[in-house]
Structure 1
């Protein structure tokens, strides 16, 4: 949301610099994401002043040049060479001084320097309007009619000033601040300065008329209030410069004076308006109702839309929809150049009704943005009168009929109980009751009743702790409905920075907590992966259902969103892989091809019972080269074994060493392993299926692993066990085993560990060979075994005994043949 400081200052006296105001707003919850400086003309006429031509003589060496002396407010007049034919003594002119940067209309900027022109010194430039970006004329210099003193900045004469525009990241709960007046109300509490609504005292409407537009609320629950005003003699055309400038300052393009006024009032007061061509309202009757399923309406963007029975529409006497209420107007009833009579709509629609229509038809407008979050029903008539006065000014409109206001059940204030003791408890420190009262008053929250549970003479703190206030919260504070909400409002204005930190907010301990903290375990795991060169990513939990089409992911298990902003973000993710591949694609497309990523996140699915299930996972991605290419080594592609090594290190750090494995069964993986701990599948890893990579437009192979983080946390064991360093040397022995191709190294490793549990420290495969001399369906593993006894040096007899037992079990359990 963009807020113009110059516009804001028409509603509140805020003389502080833009940066200071931005800091105040950010501190109160209206985060200012950026401040843009705008200028009416490029350069803002900096370095240009008013002057008087004292003398004018013909240049001795050029027929078309003149030598002039010009008073620009300095002690000594300046000599300036001028080529304009209309320059003359006594003229008031615009002078560009040395160092000024000029931005001519349709030309390149240039800087004024002290120079010599045909041998004559020139200390500036007398300007034409096109030379300073004020117009197109180059017939001669600008000749002014003014009594301002010489040396006055030209920007002051032309009324040009710079403007600061705040880019505010408005959170969904702050609908009350979705306008310039809403921000002004916020500053009123922060600066203790009064703010005011635009003056509408000049509005007058006739008490009766020969013809008016009748309004019927057929769904008063979805449209609690609907007001309108009939205007005649409207001349549709371009808006005046001041109105166009206001709209451009916040990024809106002017359209015509009628539409521009409605947009201006929306951004000034936060109340959406819509202008109908009154002659296109059949039967001079407006019906606010639900649409009939299958009805059609062509909106202002020229798109024909099919309506649902849930859509709230503004229809004519025959029930034909003319607009999607609170979202978008219809093309047939919109204002055009031929319009002379306008019916101006100002309404309060139920947020849920507007949100459903907006989501269904994928229409996001400035009006729906505000209606969806909740507008102020008390602003309806104020905005309508403000717009009518502006249309009288810029379009020559006249009020033709009494104001229509259908409001069968007025929206009241919200009653909230506030306990001062609760304020102190939640804020963390005492705030004086008078300061709280002042903040509430500045926020338009009234104290309707004060209740004190303490009688007689009591200390101030006791009175404070036993005092309750009944508050009346105005409807524009749509997010303030509970005591905690009121306390949040108090704290926002009081200032989070004013809440002091206390010494007891920190603590130390000596003993280890019996139950490990999952967040600390997660941080330690993140450090482990980051230390190996992995980067953590965070992706959106909402994703595209199309990613899971043609995959073993039944649609009935997907968790669909009822109100989604985009068709591409319509389900909660059942897997973290597609959103992670989006990150890979984004980086690869920008030539960042070597990636090592990990993410902690949740997946979601719907159970057959209709209940929903969440699961925490840790996922890891590898793609591109494992190490960068250097003169010492070539770059090697990332491999499955590097991924498996990272996964096994994570499992070991959590107390799960040496997991067993089996072939993976995963809809997104083309092959890989499932790792088991305590006979429970805890990790699945392998190569991402090519079909999924193609669907997400990822142009290179990706290795992927996902770990069941919830199970790992339930079974976590503190793996930090201290033991004495061994005093006796280890021994290595190697075996070359010829086995069937179906036998995995993991099977051989498990056989070895079952056979020798005391002396065997490590099993490693250092070579795998397949060739015709081994026979069909055979392969050879070269395996090393590290043996060590912590109590004594191993003898040859003990080593040979262990190796013989291993050979015997490999032959019996795996059908191995020992190559000697």
Structure 2
């Protein structure tokens, strides 16, 4: 948000420099991001002076040039070559001296004047036209002045060039009350203990009743307050220089006097306003209502928009004229032909304005304020202030009484506050008189005060102050954060015995783990096209969640899986010769099943291409299933997940894959995606994919740390080779081993697998077993007994043949 230093000084007495004001505002929470000097004319006409043409002769080498001498108050006049047709001796002119930087109208590049020779004649500056100074568009000839000012007088004095300071504030969404010069002045009032001087409106009165406009509000939920009046006999033209300069300082382009006044009021008081051409109000009626869905409406930018039945409109008897609080209509606005206007000043519901602004993608100064919450007590004052400015600048007569429809006034907020809570949250005890002084400075009244506390009466424009903690924050920000001393020791009101896991910290832990292992994070759109997902079948993900008002077919459903949006990233990189990929994404998926909608957080991993680059030591190696399995295992270890069970993954998705379950519920599925899926994304290379149920994984995380004494006795390894049916997996062998030898078995690993024609439908596993006793050293007798037990179980349950 942009604030003019000079404008601010008109509302409150300021003796401090812009930099000092910036520090004060930052201390109150209105963080000043920058302070910049702004001149009414770029460059401030530095180096440009008033001169008098003493002589003017034709250039001997050029028909259109003249050689002049110009007195600018120096000992010797300057020689100037000029091409303007209207230059003549005796004229008072504007001259830019050597070294001056000019900013001509319409030019992006500045012009730096140098001493030069033009067709052999010395030129020590330039006699300027209006556009060369940046004062206007005219280039018909040089500026000829009618003035008695002495030669050498700076041109900035003649033209009244002034400078201001632009204070840029990073306004947080909760501080809607400070979205104006008046709002910023209120904070300075509390900090500096000075009074605010709002412009007087005592002279306001109705001149006649020549143009009454009938106003009705059909939806007072969306428009709790609506006020307006008419002004006739106005002349719309350019705004006076002071008004244009004010708006220019804060980056607003001058349009015409009436529109400029409404913009001025918006930024002065925080009250958006709109002016309608009264002659275009059919039936002389203004109706605040919603219209039928699908009604077309052309806004000021020339675009036709389809309205919904949730868009509040300002209508005349025949048609809509304006989207309330957001954007005006093309046909009802003020032009240079306008002679009568209807001025609107209202309080619109933030919810209604926000919904409409987001739906149309319109962000205006008006919607910015209305959707955050304006002051419901401001519309009538702003209306009178604007009407007086219109009469002053554009003339005319106020030709109706003020219509003010406010059936249900917005009440003040009442907040009960206890002094001990103020002391506790501030970390410092403040005098009660100081607390009351700060709150009074913020227009917060105190009622029902006793030794324990009081009731704070908060004006409705402070939409962010509705709780006791908010009142205490207000006290702190005005008192000053830097005035709270650090205590000698640390203390806490409450220390939990059962700390709650922070989901964001756990997500960051896993993100850092994956990044350390070469993964890059991606973020994809939750909206996607329906076709790829539908090929997986309803049984996999349920029904898609469809968007009612989708912008295109490619964005018509919410994603049910991270597979396809992730594959789009893989394809995008592969098409740009980035084929070795390790990607991960945290994202939500959306499902509808049996009339119920669910939203789930997932973690997806994608690996494709080479897992190992080619070097002089080793050849490049393609990614394999176990590369992905290793990353999955790292995540599970990081999240302290143990005792998972394995089962085959969904064959609709994986050509080979595993699902790990915990308490019989899937926690992650991973493996090689089917080629029929990758081909839909135009990917030829194999892609390995892992899909974590992140919500379920978070629930299983236990922050408690487990400790176990390191065994003092050595572990023993024994190997076993056995031939089993080809369909038997290593996981089955592993589970049988742990079930058979529960006491001593610490680890099971497969180090060789052989399949050949000579085994005739069978395969051979070479497995290592790690045995250990925490109480004593294992003897050969105990080890052999354990191994014999394992062999017997394999032979009995699997028909295994032990290879000697």
TM-score by length of 2: 0.78
Cα displacement (A) at 1:380:
0.8
The 8 Å contact of residues 231 and 397 in structure 1, kept in 2 or not, is answered as yes
* Aligned counterparts, 1:229-248, within 5 A: 229-237=229-237, 239=239, 243-244=243-244, 246-247=246-247
Instruction: Name the structure 2 match of 1:451.
Output: 449
In 1, the alpha carbon distance for the partners of 2:509 and 2:521 equals 14
* Aligned counterparts, 1:753-768, within 5 A: 753-757=738-742, 761-766=746-751
The 8 Å contact of residues 722 and 802 in structure 2, kept in 1 or not, is answered as yes
> Which of residues 660, 667, 673 is equivalent to 1:682?
667
> Which of residues 485, 504, 507 is equivalent to 1:500?
485
In 1, the alpha carbon distance for the partners of 2:589 and 2:545 equals 10
* Residues 787/483 of structure 1: CA separation in 2 closer, same or farther (3 Å cut): closer
Q: Would you say how many aligned residue pairs link Structure 1 and Structure 2?
A: 792
* Residues 526/132 of structure 1: CA separation in 2 closer, same or farther (3 Å cut): same
1:633-679 deviations in Å (ceiling 9; x for gaps): 56656554333223323433555446331123499877632223455
In 1, the alpha carbon distance for the partners of 2:249 and 2:552 equals 29
Instruction: Name the structure 2 match of 1:529.
Output: 513
* Residues 253/60 of structure 1: CA separation in 2 closer, same or farther (3 Å cut): closer
Cα displacement (A) at 1:689:
7.9
Instruction: Name the structure 2 match of 1:651.
Output: 636
In 2, the alpha carbon distance for the partners of 1:14 and 1:623 equals 64
> Which of residues 457, 480, 485 is equivalent to 2:465?
480
* Residues 111/752 of structure 1: CA separation in 2 closer, same or farther (3 Å cut): farther
In 1, the alpha carbon distance for the partners of 2:9 and 2:579 equals 51
* Residues 99/227 of structure 1: CA separation in 2 closer, same or farther (3 Å cut): closer
The 8 Å contact of residues 231 and 400 in structure 1, kept in 2 or not, is answered as yes
1:595-645 deviations in Å (ceiling 9; x for gaps): 7666778888899898x9887776656567656666655665655433322
Cα displacement (A) at 1:423:
1.9
244-253 or 744-753: which moved more?
Answer: 244-253
In 1, the alpha carbon distance for the partners of 2:359 and 2:46 equals 54
In 2, the alpha carbon distance for the partners of 1:394 and 1:150 equals 34
Instruction: Name the structure 2 match of 1:342.
Output: 341
1:145-182 deviations in Å (ceiling 9; x for gaps): 474885858599551536425153431x3221222322
1:422-443 deviations in Å (ceiling 9; x for gaps): 3222222112223222222221
In 2, the alpha carbon distance for the partners of 1:572 and 1:497 equals 48
The 8 Å contact of residues 768 and 780 in structure 1, kept in 2 or not, is answered as yes
Cα displacement (A) at 1:347:
1.8
In 2, the alpha carbon distance for the partners of 1:302 and 1:175 equals 29
Cα displacement (A) at 1:747:
2.6
Instruction: Name the structure 1 match of 2:47.
Output: 48
In 1, the alpha carbon distance for the partners of 2:560 and 2:70 equals 80
1:518 aligns with 2:519: no
* Aligned counterparts, 1:790-801, within 5 A: none
1:429-466 deviations in Å (ceiling 9; x for gaps): 1122232222222212233x4633xxxxxxxxxxxxx2
Instruction: Name the structure 2 match of 1:282.
Output: 282
The 8 Å contact of residues 542 and 592 in structure 2, kept in 1 or not, is answered as no
1:706 aligns with 2:692: yes
In 1, the alpha carbon distance for the partners of 2:28 and 2:576 equals 38
Instruction: Name the structure 2 match of 1:261.
Output: 261
Cα displacement (A) at 1:481:
3.1
In 1, the alpha carbon distance for the partners of 2:182 and 2:332 equals 30
In 1, the alpha carbon distance for the partners of 2:369 and 2:101 equals 44
Cα displacement (A) at 1:212:
0.9
Cα displacement (A) at 1:213:
0.9
Secondary structure (helix, strand or coil) at the match of 1:673 reads: strand
The 8 Å contact of residues 583 and 606 in structure 2, kept in 1 or not, is answered as yes
Secondary structure (helix, strand or coil) at the match of 1:502 reads: coil
In 1, the alpha carbon distance for the partners of 2:27 and 2:553 equals 35
In 2, the alpha carbon distance for the partners of 1:429 and 1:533 equals 48
Instruction: Name the structure 1 match of 2:439.
Output: 440
The 8 Å contact of residues 641 and 701 in structure 2, kept in 1 or not, is answered as no
Secondary structure (helix, strand or coil) at the match of 1:288 reads: strand
In 1, the alpha carbon distance for the partners of 2:782 and 2:637 equals 30
* Residues 695/202 of structure 1: CA separation in 2 closer, same or farther (3 Å cut): farther
In 2, the alpha carbon distance for the partners of 1:637 and 1:281 equals 73
Secondary structure (helix, strand or coil) at the match of 1:476 reads: coil
Instruction: Name the structure 2 match of 1:197.
Output: 198
1:106-132 deviations in Å (ceiling 9; x for gaps): 374454567788999987766555555
Secondary structure (helix, strand or coil) at the match of 2:377 reads: helix
Instruction: Name the structure 2 match of 1:166.
Output: 168
In 2, the alpha carbon distance for the partners of 1:589 and 1:272 equals 50
In 2, the alpha carbon distance for the partners of 1:791 and 1:682 equals 36
* Residues 565/248 of structure 1: CA separation in 2 closer, same or farther (3 Å cut): farther
* Aligned counterparts, 1:599-678, within 5 A: 626=611, 640-653=625-638, 655-657=640-642, 659-665=644-650, 672-677=657-662
Secondary structure (helix, strand or coil) at the match of 2:378 reads: helix
Instruction: Name the structure 2 match of 1:460.
Output: none
> Which of residues 706, 716, 732 is equivalent to 2:702?
716
1:468 aligns with 2:453: yes
* Aligned counterparts, 1:208-219, within 5 A: 208-219=208-219
5+ residue gaps, structure 2, are none
The 8 Å contact of residues 12 and 189 in structure 2, kept in 1 or not, is answered as yes
Cα displacement (A) at 1:349:
2.9
624-633 or 113-122: which moved more?
Answer: 113-122
Secondary structure (helix, strand or coil) at the match of 1:378 reads: coil
In 2, the alpha carbon distance for the partners of 1:202 and 1:591 equals 74
* Residues 416/620 of structure 1: CA separation in 2 closer, same or farther (3 Å cut): same
1:273 aligns with 2:234: no
Secondary structure (helix, strand or coil) at the match of 1:485 reads: helix
5+ residue gaps, structure 1, are 453-465
The 8 Å contact of residues 102 and 133 in structure 2, kept in 1 or not, is answered as no
Instruction: Name the structure 2 match of 1:406.
Output: 405
The 8 Å contact of residues 102 and 110 in structure 2, kept in 1 or not, is answered as yes
The 8 Å contact of residues 98 and 113 in structure 1, kept in 2 or not, is answered as yes
In 1, the alpha carbon distance for the partners of 2:694 and 2:706 equals 22
In 2, the alpha carbon distance for the partners of 1:622 and 1:273 equals 56
Instruction: Name the structure 2 match of 1:179.
Output: 180
51-60 or 425-434: which moved more?
Answer: 51-60
* Residues 772/61 of structure 1: CA separation in 2 closer, same or farther (3 Å cut): farther
Cα displacement (A) at 1:798:
7.7
1:68-91 deviations in Å (ceiling 9; x for gaps): 687688xx8797765567486995
585-594 or 667-676: which moved more?
Answer: 585-594
1:670-728 deviations in Å (ceiling 9; x for gaps): 76322234555333334678899899999995733425565665563856535447675
Secondary structure (helix, strand or coil) at the match of 1:662 reads: strand
In 1, the alpha carbon distance for the partners of 2:708 and 2:364 equals 64
Secondary structure (helix, strand or coil) at the match of 1:430 reads: coil
TM-score by length of 1: 0.76
Secondary structure (helix, strand or coil) at the match of 2:196 reads: coil
1:548-594 deviations in Å (ceiling 9; x for gaps): 97475878997999x99999999999878889889989999999887
The 8 Å contact of residues 87 and 141 in structure 1, kept in 2 or not, is answered as no
Cα displacement (A) at 1:379:
1.2
